[in-house]
């Protein structure tokens, strides 16, 4: 009995290879039925990631998050209790971490090896911008802090008096430093880093200057948005933990519409309650003053 042409080809291929595997291009695509457990697993996934409501280890994760949240909230309350200068120091620390991440985005190790010390130039511009931005906010605070030491008082007063000149001198020194570090075959990379550094400084210090101004003009305008961020984050996690089943965005697969809507409603309600509560404390609403001026509030 003669076999069809296609069957002859398959038989010949099996004989040559010694196996029963046949290329799909010759005999067509093989269809596999999906097993029941695979269907159930994919039903609990969103973009390849298991949703929080379906995560088997969600209670363990919730316990870890609860501990870490309590520690962070406790640390934040302690910093607020210590006063305005400590809150400003916290903002500076956060800025340093932000700048570190942003500086590393466009770094290339091959070029960095040819430019020793070039990374220090970024931080030179960073601290120059910090002195320029925060000098006018901290001038009164530093003077009131060092009034007991005559020598230190004169030093701080001189720094405040010539703050703009010092910032101008530091920036020009940084620019000259940049010119002196230019090397052939790395011009493109160096000028990109120079422009990227200035964009980072504009992004980081433009918004933080308003934050620091709010801190010293009345802690209420800093505590209210910070408290709402904490409430929004906690509410989004809890609503997503118990009710989340509809994925929100592909960028963060575990975020859900239930968590987003629940957190939005909770934050709006909390804004009125927290704002009314904080508004009753004079120490939160009043601007930061010196020791003598503060006695007038008591």
pLDDT band at 207 (very low <50, low <70, confident <90, very high): confident
Residue closest to 197 by CA, chosen among 134, 128, 140: 128
pLDDT band at 283 (very low <50, low <70, confident <90, very high): low
Determine the 3-state secondary structure of 149 from DSSP: coil
HSE on the CB side for 175, CA within 13 Å? Answer: 7
Please write the tens of the pLDDT for every residue from 80-119: 888 888 888 899 999 999 999 998 887 777 677 778 778 8
Percent of the chain at pLDDT above 90? 26
Rg over alpha carbons for the chain, rounded to the nearest Å, is: 31
Q: What is the mean pLDDT of residues 58-79?
A: 89
CA–CA gap between residue 253 and residue 48 (Å, rounded): 8
> Which residue in the block uniquely carries the two structure tokens 């230190």?
152
HSE on the CB side for 25, CA within 13 Å? Answer: 1
pLDDT at 28: 47
Q: Of 136-140, 166-170, 264-268, where does mean pLDDT reach its minimum?
A: 136-140
DSSP 50: E
DSSP 256: B
Q: What is the mean pLDDT of residues 194-202?
A: 92
- When comparing pLDDT for 192 and 61, which is higher? 192
CA–CA gap between residue 120 and residue 126 (Å, rounded): 10
CA–CA gap between residue 281 and residue 7 (Å, rounded): 89
CA–CA gap between residue 182 and residue 190 (Å, rounded): 7
Q: Of 20-29, 66-75, 177-186, where does mean pLDDT reach its minimum?
A: 20-29
pLDDT at 293: 41
- When comparing pLDDT for 281 and 101, which is higher? 101
Percent of the chain at pLDDT above 70? 69
Domain boundaries along the sequence of the chain: 68-215, 218-288
pLDDT at 24: 47
Distance set, CA 209 to CA 134, 185, 197, 205, 216 (Å):
7, 38, 18, 6, 11
- When comparing pLDDT for 223 and 113, which is higher? 223
């Amino acid at each position: 009995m003669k076999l069809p042409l296609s069957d002859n080809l398959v038989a010949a291929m099996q004989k040559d290879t010694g196996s029963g595997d046949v290329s799909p291009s010759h005999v067509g695509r093989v269809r596999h039925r999906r097993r029941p457990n695979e269907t159930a697993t994919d039903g609990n996934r969103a973009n390849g990631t298991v949703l929080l409501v379906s995560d088997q280890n969600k209670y363990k994760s919730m316990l870890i998050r609860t501990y870490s949240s309590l520690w962070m909230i406790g640390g934040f309350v302690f910093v607020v209790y210590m006063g305005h200068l400590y809150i400003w120091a916290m903002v500076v620390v956060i800025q340093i971490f932000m700048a570190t991440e942003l500086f590393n985005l466009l770094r290339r190790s091959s070029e960095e090896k040819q430019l020793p010390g070039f990374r220090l130039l970024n931080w030179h511009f960073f601290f120059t911008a910090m002195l320029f931005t925060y000098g006018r906010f901290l001038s009164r605070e530093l003077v009131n802090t060092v009034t007991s030491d005559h020598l230190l008082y004169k030093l701080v007063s001189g720094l405040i008096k010539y703050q703009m000149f010092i910032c101008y001198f530091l920036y020009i020194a940084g620019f000259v430093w940049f010119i002196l570090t230019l090397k052939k075959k790395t011009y493109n990379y160096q000028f990109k880093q120079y422009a990227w550094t200035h964009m980072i400084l504009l992004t980081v210090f433009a918004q933080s200057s308003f934050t620091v101004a709010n801190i010293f003009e009345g802690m209420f305008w800093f505590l209210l948005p910070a408290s709402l961020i904490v409430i929004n984050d906690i509410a989004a996690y809890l609503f997503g933990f118990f009710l989340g089943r509809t994925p929100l965005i592909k960028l963060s697969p575990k975020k859900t519409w239930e968590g987003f809507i629940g957190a939005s409603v909770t934050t709006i309600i909390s804004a009125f309650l927290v704002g009314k509560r904080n508004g009753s404390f004079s120490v939160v609403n009043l601007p930061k003053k010196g020791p003598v001026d503060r006695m007038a509030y008591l």
